[in-house]
Structure formats: structure tokens, C-alpha cells
Amino acid sequence: MTRIEIWLRSILRKAGLTRYLRFHWTIRWKWYQHVYRRIHPDRLEVGLDGWTAVMLVGSEGEYTMLRSKKEDYALMRLLGERLPRGGCYWDVGSSVGFYAVLAARMVGEDGQVVAFEPEPLSRERLQQNVEANGLTNVRILPLALGRKRGTFKLAVEAAFTAGSHQVVPFDSGATVSGRRLVDVEVVTGDELRRSSVAPLPMPDALKIDVEGAELDVLTGLEATLRDSRCRTLLCEVHFSLLETRGLRDGPLQVEHALRDCGFGSLRWVDRSHLLACK
């Protein structure tokens, strides 16, 4: 990634061209809405390379969100290729648990999944999906990861399935762009892993999807990421949200942070996901 590429993406986004390029997603979304209204399913089976799980469905929005995860299947496959049986996977920003439940199948009963989800309604559905699949190797934490410990505000979307809730860097007002604010506890990943009360295992692989707080999470995970046992990281980089925070070079900073932690192979697997491997 270069500064010129970041600048071009910003220009295209502000010109509205990226919305035009997503037109096919709108058509697909409308079709899924039609299907839901016709059959009203209460669950949806998801599968990847022989691993299967079920995701509970409580609304049209939840159904269309789950059916629209074509990109996520490809990303989960990349993680699965490097996730060992009996290993540990951290799902940072787990939402309703699509990645978490499939990863739990992949690592097996001797492995462990640690799912971080601070938003209460998303976390409740995550817990329900874990129970619906009979999984005993998933640990759910009601926390957000960041660069320092504290209580912060989370701007919550009206639909918990949107998966685009954001930790905001201020502590005032009732809403942000029409969204309500809830208090969430933020800790560093390194602090949790070293906790004397309930230490977390070193992750073999982890996924980070934190809506513009990528650099904060990476900073608080530096010691963990430097460890040779932590070998794979998939990070969704939110270009527009980083720019809104004044971090136009944010994607470059994410790359530099990962290289500094020993990830020698960095690959942009699509327009917003960076795969880092050792």
C-alpha cells in the first residue's frame, strides 16, 4: 500500500464511485430479503471445507447479513489454512460469531476460541450461536481491546447485526450520528494475556475487525504479536474511519506496526483486509 493508493481511494470514495461499484451487492441484498419474507427461517447453516455450523436468525436484517458473507468465507478459509488443530484463535470484534463458531470447529475440542464482543445485543446472539452449536471451547469476553485500560463509549447501530459499532474517543452526548452510546470496558490484549486471575492463551491466529480502532488494538497487543507463536493475523482496515480520525496514513501505519512485530509476509487479500503471516 502506498500513499498514492490511499489518496486515490479517498478521492473515489468521496466522489461516490465506491457506492456505484457496490451496486451488485444491493441487488443480492434485495434477493435475500425476498427469500426471507417467503420462508422466514429461524436458522441458517454455514459451512466451509467440510466444517459446518448453524447461525440463528431472528430478523430479515440478520438473515440478509448472514447470506451476504461470501467475502467472509474466503477470508475464513485463509485463516483456517493456518489455524492448527488444537490451537487458539482470537476473534477481536466477534459480532454474532460467524468466524468464532467456524474457528471453534476447526481447532477442535482441544483448541480454544476467545471471542471479544463489547456490544450487549451482539454478544447475546454470539452466546446463543455458541450454544446452538454445542460448542464448549469458546470463551466470550464482554470487552473491547485497545491501547490502554479504561471505560469508553461505544456508538451502537440500531441493528445489532450491522457489526459496525464504534468505540468513540470522547465522553459526552447521548448519540453519535443518531446512534446511542453505551459504556464499554477497554483493556489491552497484552494485559489480558498476562492476567494472574484468568490469563488467556497465546493465539496462533487472530482476526481484528474494530471499525477504525485497528491501531489502538495493535498497540495494546504488541508483546503478543511479537511472540513467535503468534503467526497469523487478519485485520480489516477501515480506510474512511481512519481518515475521519485524522489518520489518513493509517493503513500504512498498520503495515509498519505488523512488520515491526515480525510479520514478514503482508498481503492485501481484498480492498480492506490485510493478511499478515510469519
Long-range contacts of 218-222 (CB under 8 A, 24+ apart): 218/254, 218/257, 218/258, 218/261, 219/146, 219/147, 219/188, 219/257, 220/145, 220/146, 220/147, 220/148, 220/187, 220/188, 220/189, 220/190, 220/191, 221/145, 221/188, 221/189, 221/190, 222/190, 222/257, 222/261
Q: Which domain holds residue 233?
A: 72-277
The answer to the question of residue 60 being in a domain is no
Lowest mean pLDDT of 94-108, 112-126, 189-203, name the range.
Answer: 189-203
Q: How many domains does the chain have?
A: 1
The answer to the question of residue 35 being in a domain is no
The answer to the question of residue 66 being in a domain is no
The answer to the question of residue 61 being in a domain is no
Cα torsion 75, 159, 157, 191 to 10°: value is -50
Whichever domain contains 218, its CATH number is 3.40.50.150
The answer to the question of residue 199 being in a domain is yes
**Which of 239, 250, 243 is closest to 216 using CA atoms?**
250
Q: What is the pLDDT of residues 35-82, one digit of tens each?
A: 999 999 999 999 999 999 999 999 999 999 999 888 899 999 999 999
Q: What is the pLDDT of residues 7-38, one digit of tens each?
A: 666 665 655 555 555 666 778 889 999 999 99
The structure's pTM equals 0.88
The answer to the question of residue 127 being in a domain is yes
**Contact in structure between 29 and 63 (CB atoms under 8 Å):** no
Cell numbers placing 36? 426471507
Alpha carbon distances (Å) from 29 to 17, 33, 272: 19, 6, 20
The answer to the question of residue 33 being in a domain is no
The answer to the question of residue 59 being in a domain is no
Cα gap 278→275, rounded to integer Å: 10
